[in-house]
Amino acid sequence: MTALRWGILATGGIAHAFASDLRVAGRTLAAVGSRRIEAAQEFAAQHGIPRAHGSYEELVNDPDVDIVYIATPHSHHLEGAVLALEHGKHVLIEKPLTLDADEAVAIRDIAAARGLLAMEAMWTRYLPHMVRLRELLEAGAIGEIRALSADHTQSLPTDPAHRLNALELGGGALLDLGVYPVSFAWDILGAPAEIRAVGRLGETGADTEAAISMTHASGAVSSLLTSSRAAGANVAQIVGTAGRVEIDSVWYTPTSFRVYGTDGSVREDYRGEVAGRGMQFQALHAEAAIAEGRADSTLLPLEESVAIMGTLDEIRSQLGVRYPRG
Ligand SMILES: NC(=O)c1ccc[n+]([C@@H]2O[C@H](COP(=O)([O-])OP(=O)(O)OC[C@H]3O[C@@H](n4cnc5c(N)ncnc54)[C@H](OP(=O)(O)O)[C@@H]3O)[C@@H](O)[C@H]2O)c1
């Protein structure tokens, strides 16, 4: 497989984690771009990246970059992704794909028109325990799936100016954390048929808690919880007619799970070791897709990310959260 040359757009917290994991996986880090040249240079020095650019425009104009990882706040994903796509680069875009479904459609259309890969960096989808879990469920390990529950709760900064709380930066627990259980429900049960959400808003008007109940085409139900102000267990379970799966804390990161029969016996005790934080699997998947001539992910097609943004729009509207331009 020919290695792609990665460009990192933005130098914040997750950009560091991703760059570290790309190195763990022996991928090619070609360049980084920041709004400030000093930040780009510092980032490049830390991760052994040959070129540092003092603007996102310079990064996407770098001829020795094939794919750009977009690591700006959600409010800026559209702008960064469009800039890269218009310069002929593939894009891996941090979750959530965009602020809302309309923005997601815009990315989809530009990527399709140019024949380029645009993929949401919902890294959980690509983790080895999730790959094994899907194999087991498809083989009927727990019979017919009737219900699923998952939470993503963390105690995060309360500063109103922090991107988690600032509406102009797409603040709110749902888009930052709740997107994980929502995407998980989509992965295991498919599109929701009915969506009911209740929650609580913080001082800026961004959601701090949400409890979401959904039904799916098969009739199965999902129950999802998110909070940005208090940390819970962060576990998930899938309940079927012939058994259940318990995914251990922290379910959306590399972890273990067990499959139980209805008699309580353990049918599979999955314990996987991964190098680094685990963000490299999505990058490897993107590289493989492009090497095989596919401009889409098989595990999380762009159309599904667009539809997930639609689900998030509906939940957000029920919660009463409005973004300045949304
Ligand atoms: N996959 C995961 O586990 C995970 C974890 C955390 C966050 N995320 C996602 O990654 C994205 C970034 O999150 P983060 O925690 O890395 O954020 P962060 O630490 O605040 O970094 C965001 C970066 O975006 C750039 N930026 C461009 N315009 C900006 C603006 N108007 N305000 C602030 N920063 C701006 C800045 O880079 P420059 O100054 O270099 O231009 C900044 O360092 C979010 O969409 C989030 O959902 C994913």
The CA 73 to ligand 1 mean position distance, Å, reads: 4
Distance between CA atoms of 50 and 62, rounded to whole angstroms?
12
- Average pLDDT on 276-302 reads 97
Return all residues near 115 (Cβ < 8 A) that are at least 6 apart.
Answer: 295
The CA 94 to ligand 1 mean position distance, Å, reads: 9
Q: Which helix (H) or strand (E) holds 314?
A: helix 302-319
Q: Which helix (H) or strand (E) holds 233?
A: none
Res 282: pLDDT = 98
**Over 50: is that where the pLDDT of 326 sits?**
no
pLDDT in tens, 42-82: 999 999 999 999 999 999 999 999 999 999 999 999 999 99
Kindly tell me the burial class for residue 264, based on how many C-beta atoms sit within 10 Å of its own C-beta (0-12, 13-18, 19 or more).
exposed
pLDDT in tens, 212-245: 999 999 999 999 999 999 999 999 999 999 999 9
For ligand 1, what atom is nearest to the CA of residue 279? 1
Ligand 1 site-directed mutation target among 94, 97, 156, most atoms within 8 Å of CB: 94
For ligand 1, what atom is nearest to the CA of residue 80? 27
Find, among 91, 15, 14, the residue nearest to 52 by Cα.
15
The CA 251 to ligand 1 mean position distance, Å, reads: 23
Q: Residue whose CA is closest, atom 20 of ligand 1?
A: 12
Q: Residue whose CA is closest, atom 33 of ligand 1?
A: 73
**Longest alpha-carbon distance in the chain:** 61
Distance between CA atoms of 301 and 49, rounded to whole angstroms?
30
For ligand 1, what atom is nearest to the CA of residue 179? 47
Distance between CA atoms of 260 and 281, rounded to whole angstroms?
27
For residue 2, name the pLDDT band (cuts at 50, 70, 90). Answer: low
Find, among 227, 225, 228, the residue nearest to 236 by Cα.
225
> Strand, helix or coil at 97?
coil
| Domains recognised in the chain with CATH numbers | 5-123+279-290 (3.40.50.720), 128-273 (3.30.360.10)
Q: What is the mean pLDDT of the chain?
A: 97
For ligand 1, what atom is nearest to the CA of residue 18? 1
Torsion, Cα of 123, 129, 135, 138 (10° steps): -80
The CA 127 to ligand 1 mean position distance, Å, reads: 22
pLDDT in tens, 157-199: 999 999 999 999 999 999 999 999 999 999 999 999 999 999 9
pLDDT in tens, 138-159: 999 999 999 999 999 999 999 9
Ligand 1 surroundings by CB, under 6 angstroms: 10-15, 34-36, 39, 71-74, 76, 94-95, 121, 123, 163, 169, 176
Pairing state of beta strands 5-9 and 28-33?
parallel
**Over 80: is that where the pLDDT of 1 sits?**
no
The CA 254 to ligand 1 mean position distance, Å, reads: 22
Res 3: pLDDT = 87
Q: Residue whose CA is closest, atom 42 of ligand 1?
A: 12
pLDDT in tens, 95-126: 999 999 999 999 999 999 999 999 999 999 99
Q: Residue whose CA is closest, atom 21 of ligand 1?
A: 12
Ligand 1 site-directed mutation target among 8, 11, 14, most atoms within 8 Å of CB: 14
Q: Residue whose CA is closest, atom 4 of ligand 1?
A: 14
